[in-house]
Amino acid sequence: MTSPDPRTNAPVVATITAAGAARTRWQVLVIGAGPAGAAAALRLAAAGARVLLIDRGGMPRWKVCGCCLSVAAVDELRLLGCGTGDDSRLPFDALPLDSVSVAHGGRSAVLPLPGGGVVSRDILDAGLVRAAIAAGCHWLPQAHVASIDEGEAGAQEVAATLSVRTPASAAMTSHRIAADRIVLATGLADHVRIAVSDRTIVAPASEDGRHVAAENRIGLGATLPADAAELPFGQLVMAVGREGYCGIVRLEDGRLDVAAAVSRESLGRNADPARVVAAIVAEAVGRSSLPMPTTATLTAAAFRATPPLTRSAPLVSGATGRILRCGDAAGYVEPFTGEGIGWALASGRLVAEALRDDEPAAGAPLRSPAAAAARYRESHRRRFAAVHARCRRVALALRRPGVVMAAVQAARVAPWAARRLMPAVIGAGPTGGRR
Ligand SMILES: Cc1cc2nc3c(=O)[nH]c(=O)nc-3n(C[C@H](O)[C@H](O)[C@H](O)COP(=O)(O)OP(=O)(O)OC[C@H]3O[C@@H](n4cnc5c(N)ncnc54)[C@H](O)[C@@H]3O)c2cc1C
């Protein structure tokens, strides 16, 4: 698979209108154009399927994220053929990520992070959508899906109702898009209602089997100007405090990306997210010499929030096996280990492989809904059960200040031992530590 040069911030223009999309019978409709949806759409289109990729927003777009690529993410991107065209190991405009400084209680330890990268989500996600279009997929931005109708039992299609804003009048128009299968890659904000013949399944946890962990954290993110701190390229600082943690890294264009996971209680007590992040950084960094933005700079930043982070949802929804979830929409833990983009890309690959072989005969149908669902459940379990469990253990350990302080001290005293323990914390290698 080859992809066009992604090094541009120009809008990724629609390849079809909503009315045109409604007149077409799609094999796969992918809802959500983050890494999971774009990877699934790219692979399915490259394998010859008729695919429509839609998103409620446009591309490029900003997203709350630490913007660090794990080794597994770099590997998935390389498999997708997403590169800059030169012999760079990293995709798009990504910079190498060299080390992480973990700060807690005024102490810090530096650990190497070989093989990873840093890239803004504007560049990464837009680049992936461009690559999906180049592979033959259609793209419709600014299209918000509120509901999916599975139809009667035995129906041969599913349909999504989407609303788009008409540029001329700014009025909303509604369109019904029919497809053989739907891939829900809507991220943490997975609020699409699924209607089956005799009842409606509304998104919330209790009705859709969704699990929200106790002490679930909220994601916060902002971008700071380049001169907000002296932080060098390639160095990630993770500040760990009692109310959460915050990562700061320099992006390819020099700006600083700030991403945090904070307790809901801290946001409840102090309504200003910027102050919560600034307090975590101040508590963790203390008087150490780490090159961090000042409290005043952080409190002046405009932070955006995510829904609660830790979740899991059914991989196959509805009654017919035609609706599959991938990426954060299927499950997410917490961002400390920096694996979400890699997980999203891998689950996009798995859902595409479940729906269709890599090199099918021209015009071949998708696998039957039952066979695809069974294959996807199994491959997803094999890829993610152990790594999600590892990430949950790390997330729990981070809530215990004594454990974090002991880990930072140990890494200062015996850095070689800490390096050897890194895979047990953040995973390692292309599979992210999967056994
Ligand atoms: C604070 C924080 C820091 C993080 N740091 C890192 C990191 O450093 N490295 C890393 O690998 N991961 C990190 N992650 C995780 C990573 O951001 C996610 O795991 C990843 O973006 C998931 O990709 P996705 O494609 O599943 O969802 P998303 O990237 O969230 O994409 C979902 C898309 O669906 C669209 N959408 C949603 N609802 C609808 C709808 N109804 N209709 C149409 N479109 C819709 C949205 O507009 C969006 O574009 C971090 C997360 C947080 C919260």
Residues 57 and 93 in one domain: no
| Ligand 1 midpoint to CA 154 (Å) | 33
Tell me, yes or no, whether 411 lies in a domain: yes
| Ligand 1 midpoint to CA 152 (Å) | 32
Tell me, yes or no, whether 299 lies in a domain: yes
Q: How many helices (H) and strands (E) does the chain have?
A: 12, 21
Sites in the chain below the pLDDT cut of 50: 1-6, 202-212, 430, 433-435
CA gap 13, 281 in Å, rounded = 39
Nearest atom, ligand 1, residue 36 CA: 25
Between the alpha carbon of residue 175 and those of residues 21, 146, 172, 349, 411, the distances in Å are 9, 11, 10, 28, 56
Which residues are 308's β-sheet partners?
A: 218
Tell me, yes or no, whether 82 lies in a domain: yes
Tell me, yes or no, whether 3 lies in a domain: no
Residues 170 and 115 in one domain: no
Summarize pLDDT for 329-370 with one digit per residue, the tens: 999 999 999 999 999 999 999 999 999 876 666 567 899 999
Residues 161 and 295 in one domain: no
Question: Would you call the peptide bond into 60 cis, given omega within 30 degrees of 0 as the criterion?
Answer: yes
DSSP conformation class of 76:
H
Tell me, yes or no, whether 1 lies in a domain: no
Residues 52 and 129 in one domain: yes
CA gap 103, 84 in Å, rounded = 34
Residues 128 and 229 in one domain: no
Whole-number pLDDT of residue 434: 46
Residues 328 and 344 in one domain: yes
Total of domains in the chain: 2
Residues 145 and 58 in one domain: yes
Residues 136 and 87 in one domain: no
CA gap 61, 163 in Å, rounded = 19
Residues 232 and 355 in one domain: no
DSSP conformation class of 229:
-
Whole-number pLDDT of residue 207: 32
C-beta 122 within 6 A of ligand 1: no
| Ligand 1 midpoint to CA 188 (Å) | 7
Tell me, yes or no, whether 57 lies in a domain: yes
Range of the domain at 136: 18-62+123-213+309-391
Residues 103 and 151 in one domain: no
Whichever domain contains 106, its CATH number is: 3.30.9
Q: Whose CA is nearest to atom 19 of ligand 1?
A: 340
Residues 136 and 242 in one domain: no
Tell me, yes or no, whether 7 lies in a domain: no
Whole-number pLDDT of residue 4: 46
Nearest to 377 by CA among 422, 425, 326, 308: 326
| Ligand 1 midpoint to CA 34 (Å) | 6
Ligand 1 pocket test: pick from 55, 248, 333, 347 the residue with the most ligand atoms within 8 Å of its Cβ: 55
Summarize pLDDT for 386-435 with one digit per residue, the tens: 999 999 999 999 998 888 888 888 888 887 777 777 777 777 654 554 43
C-beta 321 within 6 A of ligand 1: no
What kind and span of H or E run contains 371? helix 369-397
Whichever domain contains 368, its CATH number is: 3.50.50.60
Whole-number pLDDT of residue 127: 95
Tell me, yes or no, whether 313 lies in a domain: yes
Residues 301 and 233 in one domain: yes
